[in-house]
Chain A
Amino acid sequence: MEGMSIIVKKVTQLLCGIIFLYGIYIISHGHLTPGGGFAGGAIIAGSFILLILAFGSDALNLKKEVIESSITESIAILIVILIALAGFFFGIKVFFANYLPRGIVGELISAGAIPLYNIFIGLEVASAILTIFLALVIFKEESQT
């Protein structure tokens, strides 16, 4: 799959970093403003997909990319389950307990373990959507040659 014209390439080079940063903002402020893990993860995946669409899949090594994003997704969700299971040992000893200190309402570092959940769920959703997109691109590449 070839890339797009030079205007699209230049604008994408300028914009993809800003979109990525916006996604990180939505994830990390998930306990203060609307958003959270799912929405932020989708935005981060959007920035990567924009790069692939603008520069074409010839610029990448697709097999390596899809293996890396698949492993990232599995590791991220294992860490989420491990944080949830750690509730058995700390705090009030229940599954999914909120065992880190709460803090003051409205600060960035507050609300216990919820920002940790947001970060890893965001990582998981981003790599999952990227894996789906890369799998479809690989299928199209293989059937065209």
Chain B
Amino acid sequence: MNNLLPIFVAVPLITGFLVMILGKFIRNLHKYFTSISMLLLLILSVYAFINLGDQTLVYVVGGWKPVSNFPIAIYLVLDGFSVILLCIISLIGFIAAFYSISYISRYTAENHYYALFCLMVAGMNGVVLSGDLFNIFVFLELSVMASYALVAFGIGKEELEASFKYQVLGGLASFLILLAVSLIYWKTKTLNIADIREVLKAGYSKTFYIFIQILLLSGFGLKAAIVPFHAWLPDAHSSAPSPISAMLSGVLIKAAGIYVIIRLFFNMFEISEEIAIVITTLGTISMVLGVLLAIGHWDIKRLLAYHSISQMGYVILSLGIGMILISRGKSPGIAALAIGGGLFHLINHAVFKGLLFLNAGSIEYTIGTRNLKEMGGLSAFMPFTSSSSFVASMSISGVPPFNGFFSKLIIIIAAVEAKFYFLGFLAVFASIITLASFLKFQRYAFSNSSRNNKHAGISEVPFPMILSMVLLGFLCIALSVLAFPGIRDLVLGPAINILIHIDAYSSIISGM
């Protein structure tokens, strides 16, 4: 199974470039070929997830053995935390690619779209699998560059402006990250994550490393849209085509932003209490500010984009609580609960936010507008869209028995048990305002049949779009089974172990 790791990066790359060549000669090949290769990636990642268990797989690219205990090769590492993200990327990638079969037919230059899509997935897989810092930077740039082009895909005024703003801020973030990587290389003379951990154990100067940590937090925070770095997200996610919005909001801000923050702060640096408090504060502010800024918008996708900021705030809040508890050295049980809740909410958010963006795309496909004031009474004509949208809205608002309720409940219980009562109260408050926003969405889009009678002739969307939405809707209900402690330990247990036990990651590499 060790040989499987480079396949995750090689398969999307090969697919992307084959689509570029063959798309000019064979018609309609690009759609089905992309969907088939995304399905292959999904099967491989689920297979890796089932067979992994508690072990950590390391793959040495090029076969270079360590020289006098100094790792000189590029390592690809698959542990319990990476495999969860790999599954999420493949799942949302497959569903978005399948949805695009009928949605993208109204744009020209379709083979460019599928090639860029495959490059984005290849880049994200590379970030999740790589074991050293500069490789993370290269694959991060690859995926983010593809997403810049995809946001500007329909070349209208708004898309171009949104893409330019996104590019300038994203480029700024990348250079901050490169500066931090070069400063780390200056002090430790190595780039391997596990090896940096070993070198840092021998002593370091605290102020310099707090400067590096602030640089890394700013850079990756810009990619993950944490407040105060969130200014690009509403424009970029609302102007992109809908399957790309689902991919960006559902996977890219997690794989390129939050995953790397967790990996570096838990497994590479020693957890210091000041940085943990900063992370928790930023998470809380994102959570509250996201919902408050979403009030009063009538464009569906802008509403959904602001709610993405808020839900990412939940994840960062729970991880910050876990970091504070670990750095104080007591109550590891509550830290495990907090981190488990955060990871569960990560998985849930990918599923229900993807479904919500696909619904918004379906509405736009049939009616042609995104303004809530011009819709009404769609549930009579579009049954699949309205029922899956109902499931997703109830999930994001935290209504039982859907998956959002259980993950938010775990986060609030962890906050209360760790005696952060104010943070628990703010989490409940943000959840109530989310419920209000999505009740407005449901009412204006689907239920209000007496207002507008001009949409009387429309029909349901084509079959690939229906199938993708129904699949995600089933997953929304099925994932709530992860709330039970037995199943949660089975699925999320290895991930939590890697993050909590301080030297579990670095000892694998140095033991080779």
Contacts and interface: CB of A to CB of B under 8 A. Distances in A.
A92 B14 contact: no
B62 to A, nearest CB: 5
B61 A67 contact: no
Interface in A84-111: 84-85, 88, 92, 94-98
Contact of B13 (A71, A81, A96): A81
B21 A88 contact: no
Contacts of A94: 59-63
B10 interface: yes
A98 B17 contact: no
Given A67-B24, A81-B10, A85-B10, A92 B17 contact: no
Contacts of A95: 3, 6, 10, 59, 61-62
A95 B59 CA distance: 9
Nearest to A84: B10
A78 interface: yes
A3 B10 CA distance: 43
B295 interface: no
A96 B61 contact: yes
B20 interface: yes
A74 B21 contact: yes
A75 interface: yes
A96 B20 contact: no
Contacts, number: 41
A53 interface: no
Interface string B1-39: 001001000100110011011001000000000000000
Most buried by A among B3, B6, B18, B59: B6
Contacts of B61: 94-96
Contacts of B14: 78, 81
B6 A78 contact: no
A96 B61 CA distance: 6
A85 B7 CA distance: 9
A77 interface: yes
B24 A97 contact: no
B62 A77 contact: no
A92 B65 CA distance: 12
B20 A97 contact: no
Contacts of A92: 63
A12 interface: no
A141 B17 CA distance: 28
A70 interface: yes
A75 B24 contact: no
A74 B62 contact: no
A78 B63 contact: no
Contacts of B10: 81, 84-85, 95
B63 A97 contact: yes
B344 to A, nearest CB: 33
Contacts of A85: 10
A54 B173 CA distance: 39
A26 to B, nearest CB: 23
A98 B21 contact: no
Contacts of B13: 77, 81
A74 B63 contact: no
B3 A88 contact: yes
Given A81-B10, A81-B14, A71 B21 contact: yes
Interface string A39-66: 0000000000000000000000000000
A74 B3 contact: no
A75 B17 CA distance: 8
B6 A70 contact: no
A95 B61 CA distance: 6
Contacts of A75: 21
Interface in B281-313: none
Contacts of B21: 71, 74-75, 78
A83 to B, nearest CB: 12
Contacts of A96: 6, 61-62
Contacts of B3: 88, 95
Among A67, A70, A78, A85, the most chain B Cβ lie within 10 Å of the Cβ of A78
A70 B62 contact: no
Interface string B298-336: 000000000000000000000000000000000000000
Nearest to B17: A74
B268 to A, nearest CB: 25
A71 B3 CA distance: 30
Nearest to B62: A96
B152 to A, nearest CB: 14
Interface of A: 67, 70-71, 74-75, 77-78, 81, 84-85, 88, 92, 94-98
- Give the 8 A-B CB pairs with smallest separation, nearest first: A95-B6, A94-B63, A74-B20, A74-B17, A96-B62, A74-B21, A92-B63, A78-B17
Given A78-B14, A81-B10, 16 more contacts: A67-B24, A71-B20, A71-B21, A71-B24, A74-B21, A75-B21, A77-B13, A78-B17, A78-B21, A94-B60, A94-B61, A94-B63, A95-B61, A95-B62, A96-B61, A96-B62
7 contacts: A71-B21, A71-B24, A77-B13, A81-B10, A94-B59, A95-B6, A96-B61
Interface of B: 3, 6, 10, 13-14, 17-18, 20-21, 24, 59-63
